[in-house]
Chains A and B, each alone.
Chain A
Amino acid sequence: MGMPRLRPNGKKIKAIIATVWLIATMAFAIFSPGLQDHTPVFLGLPWVVVLSIICQASIFGLFVFIAKFIWIIEEGDE
């Protein structure tokens, strides 16, 4: 009998990172206090637009992470 595995394998770590990334982005999108602030921030646009763009940038980053480390086509099924 081999030793029980103490550390999760690479696939699990990547899945955990992606899940945490997604939850953090959604938490930011839902609970940012700036959402209730109508002060213009950039080019006269309010916080709600700036925060939305930050969230989309984070989602794009998550997709890049997935594309680079999880959805690896050349090596077949991830």
Chain B
Amino acid sequence: MNAIAISIFIAYIIAVIFVGYIGLRRSKKSSEDFFVAGRSVGPLLLFFSLAATNFSAFFFFGFAGAAYKYGFGYYGIMAIGTSLMAITFFLLGRRIWRIGKGYSLITPPELFGVRYRDKPLRFSILVVFVLFTLPYIATQAIGGGIAIQTLTEGAVSFEMGAVIVTAVIASYLMLGGMRSDVLTDLLQGVMMVVVALAAIGFVSYGFGGFNEANAAALEAAPALFSLPGGAEFFTIQIWISYLLLWTFCDPLFPQLFQRFYAARDERAIRTSMLAYPVVTAALFIAPVLIGVWGNVDFTLTGSEVDNIMPLMLSEHAPGWAFGLVMAAGFAALMSTADSQLLVLSSMLTRDVCSFFRKGKVTSAMEIKTGRAIILVLALASLGIALSSIESIFSMLTKTTFTGLAILFPATVATLYWKKASATGCISSILIGEGLYALIYFEILPSGWMMGFIPAIPLVLISTAVLIVVSMFTKKPDESLVSEFFGHLEKKRKTDVEATSGTDKPLS
């Protein structure tokens, strides 16, 4: 076993739990504090939290693997697409923050609840969020189990690895909720940036220089250096689809959506928007370069390509660097899984337990319920990871991006269109998701999509359905609409006023 690599990994786990404990020390006894950090997350923490939550284990493993297969074009779709996505921080995040502050909202479905006061819509949104988020947590437990097994060369089994990852995440989340979550996101985000850039240095040094590495890769696989790329993957339709996909689906990941509520003020969201293109430009090049350069040293097929990052580091970097990358991969994995666990816990606590409970619901009750649900969800995801029903959830994970993108028209209409109706939103979601199921199971032929990925035509169809149905169905109560849009239109407080509350800011 690589003792240095394992030591680095253990040190990282201890650091994460310690940072989670700091979150507990800074937290207050309110459900608003537990689930959205008392709306006190400043610009630096918000940016790192959004980025670390957004970039999952795929960043270290799947991203490099895709670049190995398809080439530098993958940098284009991921970097441009993700940069462009940050425009939704302005178009959606700003309004979500205002509404969240105005109504003291904590969960994404609550926003639809206060706009329409329509239970079926609120629960439709809840079901879509839960259905496409829970399997992802199980995926992270599976990834963690495999990584620990690899790191220890089999001394720790896959099952025990999955238990360790799940236990660590559940521990710090149950301690401090969102405060622990965003603080660990900072640690995990910094680690991802440092390790990704260091990995380029190690591997290019192994090739004798940056230019030399690229020259060797060009000779080995010239198709990877332009479009349509390896396996002629990047048709014009696929290129356009992926440039747009992240804009439609990323802000609808409930764990990202909820972070808009947690912002201290609009300035924090605006700073995150400005930082996103800068960081993606610098950061995303690392896995792409290493994936493309991997064609010089290795011939991999199938799912083996996702191992290209650790393989290249074991080939070109010192032993301890391998441990560092595995720990950074863990950081990416944990920073996504913890946020998903927390947002699911908040939704099941507020949109189900508190909603249906008769009598007064106190903050203390919600925190207790939230912690219990975190534990139950962690155990459930572990059960999925270790059981044979994993394949069903694997299918759901593959469909997550499109499944959530279908919520985009309903979200935009809710925030911008006063004539949008609850029936219009539900119809748009049901028809969109229904059509996607028909396409996924190949009941509906895919020729009509003209080579685009399903998310693009389905977002257009869902938009059309929403508009048409809203025009012919009962509008929401005028006073509800006025109250909702009143929160958007009234003058905002300055930063000084916004931070003058009693909550201790996280900046």
Residues of A bordering B, CB below 8 Å: 22, 26, 29-30, 35-38, 40, 43-49, 51-53, 55-57, 59-60, 62-64, 66-67, 70-71, 73-74, 76-77
Q: Are B274 and A44 in contact (CB under 8 A)?
A: no
Q: Are B210 and A60 in contact (CB under 8 A)?
A: no
CB-CB under 8 A from B281, the residues of chain A are 52-53, 56-57
CB-CB under 8 A from A22, the residues of chain B are 87
CB-CB under 8 A from A60, the residues of chain B are 83, 274, 277-278
**Does B214 interact with chain A (Cβ within 8 Å)?**
yes
Q: Are A37 and B270 in contact (CB under 8 A)?
A: no
**Does B84 interact with chain A (Cβ within 8 Å)?**
yes
CB-CB under 8 A from B495, the residues of chain A are 73
Q: Is the interface of B mostly helix, strand, loop or mixed?
A: helix
**Does B273 interact with chain A (Cβ within 8 Å)?**
yes
| Distance of A18 Cα from B210 Cα, bound (Å) | 37
Q: Are B83 and A73 in contact (CB under 8 A)?
A: no
**Does B197 interact with chain A (Cβ within 8 Å)?**
no
Q: Are B226 and A52 in contact (CB under 8 A)?
A: no
**Does B354 interact with chain A (Cβ within 8 Å)?**
no
Contact of A63 among B210, B214, B273 (CB under 8 A): B273
Contact of B492 among A45, A51, A53, A77 (CB under 8 A): A77
User: Which residue on chain A has the smallest CB distance to residue B265?
Assistant: A73
**Does B494 interact with chain A (Cβ within 8 Å)?**
yes
| Distance of A64 Cα from B495 Cα, bound (Å) | 19
Q: Are B90 and A52 in contact (CB under 8 A)?
A: no
Question: What string of 1s and 0s marks CB contacts (under 8 Å) between B30-45 and chain A?
Answer: 0000000000000000
| Distance of A46 Cα from B227 Cα, bound (Å) | 10
Q: Are A30 and B213 in contact (CB under 8 A)?
A: no
* Extra pairs beyond A47-B226, A56-B79 (19, CB < 8 Å): A29-B80, A29-B243, A38-B223, A38-B226, A44-B213, A48-B75, A52-B80, A56-B80, A56-B277, A59-B80, A59-B84, A60-B277, A62-B87, A63-B276, A66-B273, A70-B90, A71-B266, A73-B266, A73-B495
| Distance of A53 Cα from B352 Cα, bound (Å) | 45
Stretch at the interface among B318-326, B437-445, B483-491: B483-491
Q: Are A59 and B83 in contact (CB under 8 A)?
A: yes
Which 7 A-B residue pairings sit nearest by Cβ, starting from the closest?
A44-B214, A76-B491, A38-B225, A38-B226, A46-B225, A60-B277, A52-B76
Q: Are A71 and B76 in contact (CB under 8 A)?
A: no
Q: Are B273 and A26 in contact (CB under 8 A)?
A: no
